Homo-oligomer: A and B are copies of this chain.
C-alpha cells in the first residue's frame, strides 16, 4: 500500500516534463503517443528499505520478490509464478564461441514461455488497480499469450490483436487461454493501429508495452535477477534481441535502479541484437538520427517490428550502458538455436537464439572481448515456434523396426 509513495514522477522521454503521481494517462499529454513516460523512483527513500540484506532475507521465488521497486500497489499471491528463472553458467558454449565466461538467463521457463510474462503480470495487476476487467494488446505473439495467460489466471478478459503472420502455435496458446483474438490483415503496424483505436473506443486496459510505462517496470526484474544470481558481481555484457525496444529498456532500467540504490557499482554494457531483415535501431544508431520504418523480413517473428514504439528508451539503454548494436542473419539465428540446444540443453525460439548469434558476431567484430563475461537472455521458449527449426533441421531418420537396418545406418554414419 505504501509502494506507490516511492514513485517520484513519470517523466516524458521526449520533453522531459515530470508528472507527479497519480497519473491517469499512458503517454505525455504534450508530446502524444511518442511521449513515452519513464517512472522515476525516490531512491533516497528506497535505499533504506532495499539493500543486499533485503535480497538475502526475501524468500519469495518469483519476480514479486522485487515488488517494492515496482510500480504496483501490492503483489498478488494468486498470480502466475513469473520470474526467478534459471541463470545457467554454460558448460561448453563459452569455450566453443571463445569467451571466458558465459551465462544463459532462461526466460523460456516463465509460465507462458517468455520474458513477456514479466510485463503482463504487472499489466493485469495495474488493470485491477484501475478497475478494469478487460485488458488488450497488439503483439507479434509472446506479449499476447502472456497477457492472455496472466489475465485468465486473475479472471480478467483479454482482447488480442495479432498480425496475420503470427505463428499458429502461438495463436493456439492464447486461444486456449480464452482470449478474444483479432487477426488483423496486415503487419504488426496494422495490428498496433487497430488495437489503439479499439482501446480508445472501449476503454480497455492497454498493455501495449511501449505506450504503457509500467511494462518496462515489470521487465526490469530480469536485470535484478541476473545481478542477484551472480552474487552482485555483474557481467561485462548482457545480450538481448530487440523488437519494440521495451525489453532492452527494461534490462537497462533494472541495472540502473540497482546502481542508483547503491547495491551495485556500475551498469553492464548492453548488446542490442536485431535481425538483418528488420534492423531499424541499428540504422538509427549508425546514422545517429531518428528511427525510420523498416521491413519486417525475418523468421524471428518476436523481433520483427518495423516501427519500434519505444525508440528513445531502447537507444538510451545501449548508449548509456556504453554497449553496442549488431545485426545477425536468419541463418545465424537458426544455427544458434541448434548450438544452444545441443551444447547447453536450452531450447530457444528464433528471436531468443538471436542473442547467441549476436554475441558471436560481437566477438568476431571485437566488440566483446574474449576475456569478458557475458549473459545471453533467452527471451522465449523454443516450443513457441517449432516450425522455423523444423524447416531448418534435417528431420529424423525413418527406419523399419529392424536392428540390422539400424546398425547399418549408425555404423555408416559413424564411419
Which residues on A are within 8 Å of B, measured CB to CB? 61, 78, 80-81, 84, 86, 88-89, 91-92, 106, 109, 111-113, 148-155, 162, 164, 168-169, 171-173, 175-178, 180-186, 190-191, 193-194, 197-198, 201-202, 337-338, 341-347, 381-384, 386-387, 389-390, 393-403, 406-407, 409-410, 413
A401 pairs with B177, CB closer than 8 A:
no
Inter-chain CA distance A184–B396, complex, in Å, is 10
- 10 A-B pairs with C-beta separation under 8 A: A91-B154, A92-B155, A168-B390, A177-B342, A178-B338, A183-B399, A191-B401, A197-B403, A198-B407, A383-B383
A91 pairs with B168, CB closer than 8 A:
no
Contacts of A407 in B (CB 8 A): 198, 201
B91 pairs with A155, CB closer than 8 A:
yes
Which residue of B has the minimal Cβ distance to A110? B109
Contacts of A173 in B (CB 8 A): 341, 347, 382-383, 386
Inter-chain CA distance A89–B341, complex, in Å, is 33
B169 pairs with A401, CB closer than 8 A:
no
- List the 8 closest pairs (A to B, CB-CB), nearest first: A178-B342, A153-B345, A181-B396, A383-B383, A176-B341, A172-B386, A81-B86, A152-B345
Which residue of B has the minimal Cβ distance to A388? B172
Copies of this chain present in the complex amount to 2
Inter-chain CA distance A75–B90, complex, in Å, is 17
Contacts of A338 in B (CB 8 A): 175-176, 178
Q: How far is the CB of A91 from chain B (nearest CB, A)?
A: 5
A194 pairs with B406, CB closer than 8 A:
yes
Inter-chain CA distance A34–B176, complex, in Å, is 40
Contacts of A112 in B (CB 8 A): 345, 347
Inter-chain CA distance A243–B377, complex, in Å, is 36
B194 pairs with A344, CB closer than 8 A:
no
Inter-chain CA distance A337–B44, complex, in Å, is 48
